[in-house]
Chains A and B, each alone.
Chain A
Amino acid sequence: MLNFLGKRAVASGISFVGLVLLVFFLSRLTGDPTSLYLPLDASEEIKNQFREINGLNDPLLVQFFNYMGDLVRFDFGDSIRRSEPAIDIVLRGFGWTLQLAAITLSLVIVASITLGSLAAFHVGGAFDRIATFFSLVGASAPDFWIAIVAIVVFSVTLGWVPTSGTGSFAHWILPVSVLFIRPFGLIVQIVRGSMITALSSAYVKTARAKGIKNRLIIFVHALRNALLPVITVIGDQAAALLNGAVVIETIFGFPGVGKLMIDSILQRDFAVVMAAIIVTALAIFLMNLVIDILYSILDPRIRY
């Protein structure tokens, strides 16, 4: 396993460098920030001064090596927009996103695995049909649209929860509930599908013949084998949440890394874009590692 971890760290390092390289050069293709930050009638002299200060006058390759040189000393550069270290801004935003993702995902995992397993156990029964229908609705609903309808209903009309921002427990309710819906619907369906397969296998028949309780058969015997595809989908959903639920964060004015990223991309604030991508990429690589380890724990036939 240690050998695997070492290999994996090297592999992650390689794709990490690839990502940094790709983002650095591709983001520069979207244009020069100078004309965005200076007034329209700024003279060429002032523009050149701005480029000089922000290191935009050097050839791209020189800029890249300067950046990488700073990066190994953990210097991510300063934000043009807010003139403070980019990494500080990003870590602040990432903290918020991490909380939001963790709360949403734990609720989703508990709820969807329980409901999906029970639905699979009584295929075709009333509970199964209700669960299937609601997971279908959940998986089909655009969270974008749910969010603005929820704001109109619960914040504007009923006045139960704040429309946007952070600060109190009530501020978390709408973003978490809206973010919960789609992954929940998706994962219930996957759990149900793979549980149906697992429940019809021979070892479940054996367990039943031994007289083991249904609860144990579902959650101990079958679930472990049904979890493999489920974990893949959970990982994908978690990655999406860690990248920042951009639209939800924008609609609810949530100061997460997703909103920060889109603002910085549109403002050509390259230092912040790079720092945000590096931080989220590190988090996602770590998570993928955990998922691979989980695979081999759940199914010992999978060896690395």
Chain B
Amino acid sequence: MANTHNNEPSVPAGPEARNPYMQTLRMLWNDKLAFFAVVFLIIVLVCALFGPYFLDDLATKQNLRGRNAPPFDFSKDWPFWLGGDALGRPLLTRIMVAAQNTIFVAAGAVFFSMIIGTSLGLIAGYTSKTLSQVIMRLADVIMAFPSLLLAVIVLFMLDSSVFNLVIVLAITRIPVYLRTARAETLEVRERMFVQAAKVMGASTPRIIFRHILPVVFPTLITIATLDFAFVMLAESALSFLGIGIQPPEITWGLMVSQGRPYLTTAWWLSFWPGLAIILTTMSLNLVSNWMRSALDPAQRWRLENVGKKNG
């Protein structure tokens, strides 16, 4: 991660190195952890996009002779290499198919809550006190409103579809971005460049989106990538409690909870999907860390500066 920029001077200054894409790829290759994280995420994304179309039959075909088949039995077909579940369905293909719902629910919820939360937070931090108060009280209500009750209500009033779950999770995550964006804005708006922009006659929307947002954004991205893990977890928690995704729809979190009764006899039912969650969220975090330290010129300059002073 952070050692990437140290390797940068060794990049040859030939015409090929000037190409920004090649340079980025080279920097990525230099940081092996981030490189494998990117590769893993691409695999997950491919599974999420295409898995259900090609593997759905394989993943739902029951085979009672293969009930709780142990993993690493390479005499069987490849879908059974990670074992079979309680109905003899191959775990590997099930995980690949479940990637779609898992990723889409988490990505959708993070996307909507970040856009809505950040906009409201910037407005609350910069504009009039009355508006700020209204928005913050709204955040208080959402924060105090139990997400479980919200999920149960949505489940009873509407259907338990993937989209409705995205709505529930997005609503519960709005206050995180809202409070962070507001806190940072409160600090940033006192700085000189904001006053300068104001003096030069910039409009309020321009100050918020062109001057304050870029300063606040890195913190929000950090939170968003970490929040992706939280949302995946929240979805699995709801599925575990029986008020999230309902079978036959499938997510990694639901697979963990479906394997729970067999935990002492067949650990692999819960273990593999849980591992898939960890690896995905870890990769996301690694990549976001790498991007922040290697690709953002302001941050890179800062890192190098501190490194030199201490080194």
Contact = CB atoms under 8 A, between A and B. Distances in A.
Interface in A211-248: 228-229, 231-233, 235-236, 239, 243, 246-247
A156 B264 CA distance: 8
B233 A144 contact: yes
Interface residues of B, number: 68
Interface stretch (A37-45, A74-82, A109-117, A279-287): A279-287
Contact of A132 (B1, B156, B264, B277): B1
A26 interface: yes
A122 B180 contact: no
Interface string A102-145: 00000000000000000001111000110010001101111111
Nearest to B305: A200
Given A15-B140, A196-B302, A236-B179, A261 B226 contact: no
Interface stretch (A47-55, A61-69, A83-91, A294-302): A294-302
B232 A232 contact: no
A145 B157 contact: no
Interface stretch (B13-21, B52-60, B204-212, B267-275): B267-275
A15 to B, nearest CB: 4
Given A136-B286, A139-B226, A243-B146, A295 B236 contact: no
Contact of B240 (A122, A123, A141, A247): A247
Given A139-B285, A301-B187, A12 B146 contact: no
A142 B140 contact: no
B282 interface: yes
Given A152-B264, A152-B267, A266 B133 contact: no
Nearest to A214: B310
B11 interface: no
A200 B310 contact: no
Contact of A140 (B140, B157, B281, B307): B281
Interface stretch (A92-100, A172-180, A185-193): A185-193
B285 A136 contact: yes
A141 B264 contact: no
Contacts of A136: 282, 285-286, 289
Nearest to A295: B183
Interface stretch (B38-46, B147-155, B194-202): B147-155
A55 to B, nearest CB: 20
Contacts of B278: 137, 140-142, 145
A250 B237 CA distance: 10
Nearest to B229: A140
B253 A232 contact: no
Q: Which 7 pairs of residues, A with B, have the shortest CB-CB distance?
A: A145-B274, A140-B281, A124-B2, A281-B144, A15-B137, A140-B282, A247-B237
Interface of B: 1-3, 6, 133, 136-138, 140-141, 143-149, 152-153, 156-157, 175-176, 179-180, 183-184, 186-187, 190, 218-219, 222-223, 226, 229-230, 232-233, 236-237, 240-241, 253, 256, 260, 263-264, 267, 270-271, 274, 277-278, 281-282, 284-286, 289, 292, 302-303, 305-307, 309-310
24 contacts: A11-B133, A18-B137, A19-B141, A23-B149, A124-B303, A128-B2, A132-B2, A189-B226, A193-B218, A228-B184, A229-B180, A231-B183, A232-B179, A233-B180, A236-B175, A236-B176, A239-B143, A250-B241, A261-B149, A265-B152, A277-B144, A277-B149, A280-B144, A302-B186
Given A122-B310, A140-B229, A140-B278, 4 more contacts: A15-B141, A194-B219, A235-B179, A277-B149
